[in-house]
Amino acid sequence: MNFVTLLISILLLSGCSIFNDLRRDTLLKASQNWELNNHQGLSYLKTSDLTKAQAKFQLALNEAKNCGVNDLRIAITLNNIAGVYELQHNYPAAIDVLEKASNIAKANQNTTVWLNSQYNLARLLALDGQNKLSLILYKEVFSELKSRNKAYGLNINKVYTEYLDLLEKNKNQ
């Protein structure tokens, strides 16, 4: 071990504030960049400029990953990317990113993001013709909403109506 490596090791082990400050500043900058890019992506998504929305969400995703491999911002951004894929009718890609978002939200024990991911996944599975799996997820989301008596940003009546409509559609096939 050379002198520089030894010195850095001692500084890290002693909790040197220079390294802690640098890490904190890096995380703060990544968080701010994520917020900016995610917000801009949502603005482009609202105007249906899918190319720009996708580019901004990709930048936001990169910044979120700088905050940690299972950072909740990754799940939020993946939900937004799924929105782009949905508008492009690329349901398999949307389903793929929503499954990842759902897993990250669940690992973070964030019920709001997890339920929204599961709901979006249920909708997209139905659009993709995967009705049986979609029904399972709709039922899971509705049951969770009902048992907690809280909406988590979702309209419980809409979730239940979509579930019943898909159930009826399945009966008629």
Q: Render pLDDT for 76-114 as a digit per residue (tens, 0 to 9).
A: 999 999 999 999 999 999 999 999 999 999 999 998 999
Calpha distance 57→94 (Å, rounded): 14
3-state secondary structure of 82: helix
31, HSE (Cβ side, Cα atoms, 13 Å): 10
Structure confidence by residue, pLDDT tens digits, 49-84: 999 999 999 999 998 898 888 999 999 999 999 999
3-state secondary structure of 104: helix
What end-to-end distance do the CA atoms of the chain give, in Å? 71
Query: What SS3 string covers 128-146?
Result: CCCHHHHHHHHHHHHHHHH
- pLDDT tier for residue 7 given thresholds of 50, 70 and 90: very low
As a whole number, the mean pLDDT across the chain is: 85
Query: What SS3 string covers 7-44?
Result: HHHHHHHCCCHHHHHHHHHHHHHHHHHHHHHHHHHHHH
Q: Which domains does the chain have, with CATH numbers?
A: 17-171 (1.25.40.10)
Calpha distance 109→98 (Å, rounded): 16
